[in-house]
Amino acid sequence: MIAAGQRRARGARAARSCGMSRGVAQVWKEHPMRNGWFRVFPAVVLLAALASTGCTHIGPQTVAVDRFDYSTAIADSWKQQTLLNIVKMRYVDLPVFVDVANVVSGYSLQTGVSATGVLSSERAVQGNYASIGGQAIYTDRPTITYVPLTGEKFLYGMITPIDPKKIFFMLQTGFAADFILGLTVESLNGVQNRSAAGGVVRAADPDFMRALELIRDIQVVGAFGMRVEEDEARGSTGVVFFRRDDVPVDVAAKAAEVRRLLKLAPDQQRFVLTYSPVRGADDELAVNSRSMLQILSAFASYVEVPAAHLEDRSAVAPLAAAAGASSDEVVRIHSGTQEPANAYAAIRYRDHWFWIDNGDWQTKRALTAVMFFFTLAGTGAGDNLPLVTIPAQ
């Protein structure tokens, strides 16, 4: 009798667990033949196992997976979209950008169980029997919202030269000076960089290339930096400075050569950044920075265009190189009819594949920098733009 009472108490407690509803527990308690239920105890155990799924929280378990999967997918699509628009510019096609504004991922898990049984007397013909049924419904329904980048703000950000302060802030974060300046400026204090304007590749001035190389060397040892000073007349002013104290002799010599190459005052240690295509005052470093449209156009000049597209004139022919222009290319965008097997970013356009090799770190770095400069240039979505919401089922 004691053992039977203990079994009944345990059964009642099991029925009141989080997996079973209060109604099931009440039926258990009030059933007139509950003393015989221990005979179908294995069935009750199965019922409790099915019902126990109500105690499981699926939300926390999805964070570790979804957070990284969505971030990877968004990053890959951003690379592909940027590469696609670079290629489209080579085909004189309209670049279109769509931003992922919001991702809402919803989950639901519904479970249900049912149990029926008959407890008969000892003389009954049919005997005892029990049946158990269960179901589980799992739903994953993410909703992704896209914002087309259009309108006056986007166009203004595309055609407006990047603020020189933002360019030099990139140097402060550790980006190589020769790479960033070579990508984003047309000239420094009137000394010209390589340019693809006007349909002809203009070679960079040798003084410009040498100056970038020296600035990179000075940057590595920490003798070159930038800060922002408040000027009531001009507002915030970017200042580039060359360290004078505690600098090795060879580094000081390189800094002096940079001043000579860029026609800067030889005794000046501090230069105010200003936007200008020509040389500034003695205490200024005039930066003729590029716009995002110029950067994309320069990038597009490195796209390998299929011969068939050149023959039907659907794409712009390779830019004519000026006398003395360097043939060394640090950016390479390949093309072909077959999908590449090992690509950092690949897109399909006009029945051809265009891609960047995964081992080409120079081009990978350049594409990443272009994506960063999109943010710095203020090309984001403006107010009151249409939202495109697509539920993914």
pLDDT tens column, 104-141: 877 777 778 887 877 776 776 667 777 888 888 877 77
Q: CB–CB of 201/328 below 8 Å?
A: no
Question: How far is it, in rounded angstroms, from Cα 238 to Cα 227?
Answer: 6
Q: What is the mean pLDDT of residues 243-252?
A: 81
Please tell me which residue, 96 or 357, carries the higher pLDDT value. 357
Rounded-to-5 percentages of helix, strand, coil across the chain: 40, 25, 30
Residue 317 near residue 196 (C-beta atoms within 8 A): no
Task: Annotate 277-294 with b (16+ C-beta within 10 A) or e (fewer).
Answer: eebbeeebbbbbbbbbbb
Q: Closest by alpha carbon to 196, among 204, 188, 206, 205?
A: 204
- Measured distance CA(83)–CA(354) in Å, rounded: 8
Q: Which residues pair with 201 in a beta bridge?
A: 321
pLDDT at 49: 52
From residue 99, alpha-carbon distances to 48, 214, 382 in Å are: 48, 38, 12
Range with lowest mean pLDDT among 12-16, 336-340, 376-380 = 12-16
pLDDT in tens, 144-168: 888 888 777 778 878 889 888 888 8
**Which structure tokens are listed for 282?**
């003695």
Calculate the average pLDDT of the chain: 77
Give me the pLDDT at residue 195, please.
Answer: 78
Give the H or E element holding residue 333.
none
Query: Is the Cβ–Cβ distance between 49 and 92 less than 8 Å?
Result: no
Of 340, 283, 275, nearest to 83 by C-alpha is: 340
End-to-end Cα, the chain, rounded Å: 56
Query: 9 pLDDT exceeds 70?
Result: no
CA atoms within 13 A on the CB side of 243: 16
Residue type, 99: D
- The whole-model pTM stands at 0.69
The 3-state DSSP class for residue 19 equals coil
Q: Count the neighbouring beta carbons within 10 Å of the beta carbon of residue 390.
A: 10
Residue pLDDT, tens place only, 287-316: 999 998 888 888 888 899 999 998 998 888
pLDDT at 271 over 70: yes
Which one is predicted more confidently, 238 or 349? 349
User: Torsions phi, psi of 206, nearest 5?
Assistant: -55, -35
Query: Please, which pLDDT band fits residue 359 given cuts at 50, 70 and 90?
Result: very high
pLDDT at 24: 44
Q: Report CA-CA distances (Å) from 175 to 76, 178, 367, 372.
A: 22, 9, 13, 12
Tens digit of each residue's pLDDT (9 = 90 or more) over 12-44 = 444 444 444 444 445 444 444 444 444 444 555
Q: Does 203 have pLDDT greater than 90?
A: no
Q: Is 13 helix (H, G, I), strand (E, B) or coil?
A: helix
| pLDDT confidence of residue 324 | 42
pLDDT at position 393 is 52
- Report the pLDDT averaged over residues 89-99: 87
pLDDT confidence tier of residue 62, bands split at 50, 70 and 90? confident
Residues 6+ apart with CB under 8 A from 123: none
pLDDT greater than 70 at residue 73: yes
122-136, 161-175, 201-215, 335-349: range with lowest mean pLDDT = 122-136
Instruction: Give me 42's structure tokens.
Output: 């294995």
Question: Between the CA of residue 34 and those of 17, 120, 289, what are the distances in Å?
Answer: 18, 12, 85
What residue ranges do the domains of the chain occupy? 1-56, 163-290
Q: Output the pLDDT for position 27.
A: 44
Q: Answer yes or no: are the C-beta atoms of 307 and 336 closer than 8 Å.
A: no
Residue with tokens 């349909």: 199
Residue 186 in this model has a pLDDT that exceeds 60: yes
